[in-house]
Amino acid sequence: MNENYLHFLWKNKRLPLTNLHTVDGKKVEILHVGIHNLDSGPDFFNGKIAIDQITHSGNIEMHVKSSDWNLHGHQFDKAYSNVILHVVYEHDDLIFVEGIPLPTVELKQLIDWNHFDWFNTYYKGSSTVLCASFLNEIPEVIVLNQVERALFQRLERKTMELENLYQSHRMSFKEVLFHTISKAFGMKTNQLPFQELAIGIPFDKFIKASQKQKMAITFGVGGFLEETKAIPYHEELKKEWDFQRYRLKLEARNVYSWKFKGCRPGGFPTQRLAQFATFVHEMNWDSDSWYLPAKELLVMLQSKLMKPADEYWLEHFDFGKEKKAASTLSIATANTIIINSVVPFLWWLSYRLSDDAYRNKAFELLEMLPPEKNEKISTWKNIGVKPINALESQGLVELTNEFCSKKACLECVIGNTVLKRR
């Protein structure tokens, strides 16, 4: 037995709720099962029950065994002082709350074991999307509803990340955007070193520097100019870096934190650093670009992201390593950076300024951008869920990461629908 299953039974009322009794024989009437709590604290908030016709309102806690109450330390946690009912699979210990015995209901004799066996088999599935074989039974509106819920959750989570960044470092709005874009340039492989890079660069001074100075500072703080190489371009940047490092009191990061393995030459960190420095140089940080209409903002960002870096990086993918053909940032990569930086920035801006216009603009951008192409989206396409734009693909990414991968089917509208139909 596991708590997930008990939560499912309680939440969906798959129990003979009209025939419940406490372990000491008192009749229990469930007036409201409560609101399922997905964070810390009791499992169900604001429940309402009647024991021997006396009504009680408060929280409900569930465990496999009664003794789990003490095992989990709830006896020391004030958050559990308002629990009115303990629902357990097996009663093996009497629990007290502030010296009063806690009313307890045992479910052991009420379990539908055929359903439990199916439930366990379902949860032991090896597929990332456990409900894949049942999706054709689910109305499309339910799937779309969960994808939208997942998208909102993703953007709200990223909003809180940006708010923490803003609060902890006392940044300007433009600095927040700068850090968000830097993180997005790192993609999944080099996200952390790009974040560290942004922290090590003084934003106000950096955006006023010349393009050559930006290149030197970017590669210098990134740790790529610590060694001496017999490459004229490298020597030129190193000379500039030595000056800027002293002038701005900068420090070089550990060059070995950058990952080349797993990246194609066009996505090497050296390429991304050059493209990042070029974008920052091309971007007009003195204007409030986010005031532009969504379509104009998208075109402007794409053009600046795809702006060719200096000639050296058009012809090389690393210091001293030449390309077979000149290339710039692809439109697909530019769109990915916009999705992962500008969209959450606008969502956060809406939160910070209490202005829904920015949130609406974020939605517009996601609706205009094509769906991303990655392994997670391919998985959904293979089982018949095909996103039509980035709005839907972002929802599916969150659904995969925060629901499917964690087997959080009870918190998912799709998963709940499948489980309730068995």
Residue 422 inside a domain? The answer is no
- Do the beta carbons of residue 337 and residue 184 sit within 8 Å? yes
Q: Is residue 249 located within the same domain as residue 328?
A: yes
Q: Is residue 389 located within the same domain as residue 334?
A: yes
Give the bridge partners for 54, in sequence order: 51
Q: Is residue 110 located within the same domain as residue 45?
A: yes
Q: Is residue 149 located within the same domain as residue 111?
A: no
Residue 87 inside a domain? The answer is yes
Q: Is residue 349 located within the same domain as residue 244?
A: yes
Residue 134 inside a domain? The answer is no
Q: Which of 212-216, 235-239, 276-280, 285-289 has the lowest mean pLDDT?
A: 285-289
* DSSP one-letter code for 102: P
Query: Tokens in use for 4?
Result: 């997930």
Residue 330 inside a domain? The answer is yes
pLDDT band at 141 (very low <50, low <70, confident <90, very high): very high
At 126 the pLDDT is 72
Q: Is residue 51 located within the same domain as residue 155?
A: no
Question: Which of 342, 331, 336 shows the shortest CA–CA distance to 307?
Answer: 331
Q: What is the DSSP string of 132-199?
A: GGGGGGS-HHHHHHHHHHHHHHHHHHHHHHHHHHHHHHT--HHHHHHHHHHHHHTTTTSHHHHHHHHH
Residue 241 inside a domain? The answer is yes
- State the Cα–Cα distance between residues 422 and 418, nearest whole angstrom: 7
Q: What is the mean pLDDT of the chain?
A: 92
Mean pLDDT of 14-28: 88
pLDDT band at 393 (very low <50, low <70, confident <90, very high): very high
At 422 the pLDDT is 67
Last residue of a domain, one of 123, 156, 187: 123
Q: Is residue 384 located within the same domain as residue 243?
A: yes
Q: How many domains does the chain have?
A: 2
Backbone angles phi, psi at 89, to 5 degrees: -75, -45
Which bin fits 96, alpha (ψ -120 to 50), beta or left (φ > 0)? beta
Residue 136 inside a domain? The answer is no
Residue 415 inside a domain? The answer is no
Q: Is residue 119 located within the same domain as residue 249?
A: no
Give residue 188's domain range: 143-404
Q: Is residue 191 located within the same domain as residue 46?
A: no
Residue 288 inside a domain? The answer is yes
Q: Is residue 56 located within the same domain as residue 185?
A: no
Q: Is residue 185 located within the same domain as residue 317?
A: yes
More confident residue, 345 or 132: 345
Condensed to tens digits (0 to 9), the pLDDT of residues 68-81 reads: 999 999 999 988 99
At 2 the pLDDT is 84
- State the Cα–Cα distance between residues 21 and 19, nearest whole angstrom: 7
Q: Is residue 161 located within the same domain as residue 118?
A: no
- Do the beta carbons of residue 201 and residue 175 sit within 8 Å? no
